[in-house]
Amino acid sequence: MSSPSKFFSKTKKISIEKFIYNALYNKDYGYYSKKIPFGKEGDFITSPGISSLFSELISLWIISLWLHMNKPKIFNVVELGPGNGQMCKTMLAVFKKFPNFFKSVNIFLYEKSKILRSLQKKNIKNKKIKWIKNYNTIKKGPIIFLGNEFFDAIPIKQFKKINNILYENYVKLENNSEISTCLKKVNPKTIAELKKYGLLKNQSFIEFPKKGLVELDLIINKVKKQNGGLLLIDYGFLKQKNKNTLQSIKNHKPNKIFKNIGNADITSLVNFALIKNYLDKKGLKVNNVVTQGFFLKKMGIMERAEGVAKRMNFKEKSDLYFRIQRLVSSKQMGELFKFLFASKLKKKFLLGFN
Ligand SMILES: C[S@@+](CC[C@H](N)C(=O)[O-])C[C@H]1O[C@@H](n2cnc3c(N)ncnc32)[C@H](O)[C@@H]1O
């Protein structure tokens, strides 16, 4: 096994946030810099890979939003962290079936990983699609930001309160091989910041998505300037958890956070209550957060499956329903995954949410 020291700074002591960042995004050794994580041969599978009906319904939701906004002549869709490009590929196929919409739409892919950017370029070829590093390249027209499992992949900070003193979770490396957690007392500025978000009330273990909020600010600013909104889909919770939600996965099985560094994914659950309050405070209107099962059923996933199943043999039908169950069942992804829509629209757009 190679030494984990390449993920640490010279001091051999870094915050858990920095550790996750290095493990996932270090440009030479990070997980997303060298690995294609999706599918059977990878480490995990996401909703677009479970069934194309997921992306089909989201595409129809986007077209309905365009209609709701009175068919803007220029309409931009930004996919945040498009992974292997599967959702975008399906979106493109659905969008093409609506020629008036297709004329108006531009698709932008916001992707940090070089290897995934090349994979996306290989998988989807169309002049409507552009890869961007910065939203400022989109000058005109409303923008719909769409992110499936984007926020859970952004490193978080963790804090512990012991005898009313607040510490940040750090990670240290000893003898170039042993990794353990340790605590570092935080400064008053950090305490004030966490208080501002109501994170210290009755909490002894706190998770704070500082980097996630930086990403969110970029989106909010653009939506405020050009109109549009953000459809955020991820696994997460609405009530404060007081719980360590970091998890690592390798070959579709749980992995210890400090094992297989750079070769396993690390994610955390998204605090939807925090994100909703943040968006509210920054002046965007947020629909009630709903579960994935609720959204997909409201969008007609069962009816669509019935239609598709008519052309299938028994084996294909069972496979389709098995996949749909995985997406909507409360015991699988249906409850843990949430949908949030935030916008600046004057007239509420509640499709899928009520
Ligand atoms: C868990 S994957 C989800 C992929 C895809 N959306 C799906 O549902 O299959 C997370 C994606 O977000 C990308 N990503 C993470 N942080 C990013 C950032 N700050 N900017 C752009 N892309 C990022 C990753 O490279 C990856 O494509």
pLDDT less than 70: residues of the chain: 1-2
Which tens digits make up the pLDDT trace of 98-114? 999 999 999 999 999 99
Residue 2: the pLDDT is 62
Q: pTM for this one?
A: 0.97
Residue 133: the pLDDT is 95
* Domain ranges (residues) in the chain: 26-155+210-343
Residue 182: the pLDDT is 96
Residue 306: the pLDDT is 97
Q: Which atom of ligand 1 is nearest to the CA of 215?
A: 19
Question: From ligand 1's centre to the CA of 111, what distance in Å?
Answer: 6
Residue 1: the pLDDT is 52
Which tens digits make up the pLDDT trace of 298-338? 999 999 999 999 999 999 999 999 999 999 999 999 999 99
CATH number of 26-155+210-343: 3.40.50.12710
Residue 240: the pLDDT is 79
Question: From ligand 1's centre to the CA of 23, what distance in Å?
Answer: 14
Q: Which atom of ligand 1 is nearest to the CA of 152?
A: 1
Average pLDDT of the residues of the chain: 96
Bridge partners (DSSP) of residue 228 are 143
Residue 278: the pLDDT is 97
Question: From ligand 1's centre to the CA of 292, what distance in Å?
Answer: 19
Residue 176: the pLDDT is 85
Give the CA distances from residue 94 to residues 170, 197, 267, 311, in Å, rounded to whole numbers and listed in that order.
46, 40, 30, 19
DSSP strand pairing (13-15 vs 129-132):
unpaired
Residue 255: the pLDDT is 98
Residue 111: the pLDDT is 97
Residues having CB closer than 6 A to ligand 1 are 32, 46, 48, 81-83, 110-113, 116, 148-150, 153-154, 215
Residue 188: the pLDDT is 96
